[in-house]
A and B are shown apart, each in its own frame.
Chain A
């Protein structure tokens, strides 16, 4: 399911029947039809095409934020788990500070400082998930470093860097990948929420949350303007949730991520 959504998002310029900004003045708030299968919005723009392009920007923000979070969290988690001692305490306590504020409030605080936009939204979401992913990586590293092959590598004279890169990291990554896929579902919801508030992806770039915000005033005349973008979010979130569950069963049966 997720694969189909990603293909739709990537190939939106080819697959979409109309441009996301193409205005059809005769079809203002037009009901779903053969020409506009999801209907058209208050400016006569095709809702299906905008959902495809909106999915593209929402997925881009969600996936890039989780990827960015992983890039920072994985080294921090490995260092905390492998080195222990003061390095572990310093990293863990610093990351705990991020959890002082509720997630959405922290994202809003970031946007209040840096201004609205998809890049800032992605950055904010990445920071929010940093402590969660780093904790999972740390926990996974703590399990892996006790294995005999790691102790053996050290006994054979391998340096810390080589041990971590060659033995610890590859074997400790699976729970982080599982957690990242679960967090992608939440990141998608968070991005949609921020765009709904006008703080995420900015017009004219279509976003699913932004479409829901725009369509509120015409809810009774044209419910399709609200129904289809919302359904797209639900389907995408479900796809990430099922992927996460599948990966958890396959890679993390011991439940480091649960």
Chain B
């Protein structure tokens, strides 16, 4: 059993290597696939020939493609991510400032979505018709309402009308934890609602599937309370499915963060990318995309490993 699990972990970790390679190639090609001369596109028509040559050399675009790629990957491993063309700031420092904001937004949104979606999903799986209809309505609306419009409506109600929360802006947690949470409340809620709907639907389907299995009938015949059957057995058996979907939805959350950071003026990586696109600031776009994609890939890896640990069949299946 231990060997099977170890083999599963090794195999899954090794599978991440080609994925990271493909991701690095996609990110590397962003600047190289720009139609025409990317440096002239970046600098605009007022750029002098000397400027163009300087930036081209700075970005290594005058080197052979293979050398450029190896320099790009080498820079990532050394922590030298290059320079922002507009602000001239180090991209490593810029990322170090921006990533905590994106982590806080997506992390809190994920926790809130799980706290809403999973218990409601369990309740819907073994509840009456009324709770099922109510949760179904929440799922349909949660999935259909675009998060940025929900955010605007939340601002209208909770910031503009009631004045409970600020409409936009950011204060770092270390500076003032209470104000930080006040500023994060609406963005987190905006991002969490749609995810909660997905988690509700997944949990309900997974728990329903487990409750239909013969062993649940045996537990009922033994006289176990419905609460213990659902909480102790059904939810535990449904956990791998729920965790897998949570892992997949991290990608959706990270994508959503790009819009929500822009909407609420949060200085995260998503807003950095959008601003960089409008400025045609390609090195910053590359590093922003690289950061989010790397987080996504690592979360997928951790999710699969956790599922493998929780469900021995996954690990056994992978090793055979």
- Chain A residues near B (Cβ < 8 Å): 97, 100-105, 108-109, 111-114, 116, 185, 189, 192-193, 196-199, 209, 212, 216, 219-220, 223, 226-227, 230, 233-234, 237-238, 241
Whether the Cβ atoms of A104 and B277 lie closer than 8 Å is no
CB pair A238–B140 under 8 Å, yes or no, is yes
* Apart from A112-B30, A233-B146, A234-B146: 4 A-B pairs, beta carbons within 8 A: A97-B22, A101-B289, A102-B252, A103-B251
CB-contact partner of B262 in A113, A197, A230, A237, under 8 A? A197
B111 within 8 Å of A by Cβ? no
For residue B192, CB closer than 8 A to chain A, the reply is no
Are A104 and B145 neighbours in the complex by a CB distance under 8 Å? no
Q: Is the CB of B258 within 8 A of A104?
A: yes
**Judging by beta carbons under 8 Å apart, are B155 and A219 in contact?**
yes
Question: Chain A residues near B148 (CB, 8 Å)?
Answer: 192-193, 196, 209, 212
Closest Cβ of chain B to A67, distance in Å, is 22
Choose among B30, B143, B263, B278 the residue that contacts A109 (Cβ–Cβ < 8 A): B30
**Does chain A have a CB within 8 A of B181?**
no
List the B side residues contacting A105 at CB < 8 Å.
254-255, 258, 289, 292-293, 296
**Shortest distance from the beta carbon of B286 to any chain A beta carbon, whole Å:** 9
**A108 touches which of B22, B263, B273 (Cβ 8 Å):** B273
Nearest to B27 among chain A residues (CB) is A109
| Pick from B33, B254, B259, B293: contact of A193, CB under 8 Å | B259
B144 pairs with A104, CB closer than 8 A: no
The reply on B65 being an interface residue by CB < 8 A is no
Kindly provide the distance from the CB of A135 to the nearest chain B CB, expressed in whole angstroms: 14
16 intermolecular pairs with C-beta atoms under 8 Å apart: A100-B297, A101-B296, A102-B292, A103-B252, A105-B293, A108-B289, A112-B273, A112-B276, A198-B274, A199-B277, A219-B152, A226-B152, A227-B153, A230-B149, A230-B152, A241-B143
A102 to B291 Cα, complex, angstroms: 12
Asked whether A100 and B22 contact (CB < 8 A) given A108-B289, A216-B152, the answer is yes
CB atoms of B292 and A100 under 8 A apart: no
Say whether B23 contacts A101, CB under 8 Å. yes
Kindly state whether residue B156 has any CB partner on chain A within 8 Å: yes
Query: In the complex the two chains form, what is the Cα distance from A234 to B146 in whole Å?
Result: 7
A220 to B255, CA, bound (A): 28
Task: Bits for B128-162, please: 1 = Cβ < 8 Å to A, else 0.
Answer: 00000000000011011110110011011000100
The yes or no answer to B256 lying at the interface (CB within 8 A) is yes
The answer on a CB contact under 8 Å between A197 and B258 is: yes
Q: Are A111 and B277 in contact (CB under 8 A)?
A: yes
B26–A109 touching, CB < 8 Å: yes
Tell me the B212-269 residues at the A interface (CB within 8 Å): 251-252, 254-256, 258-259, 262-263
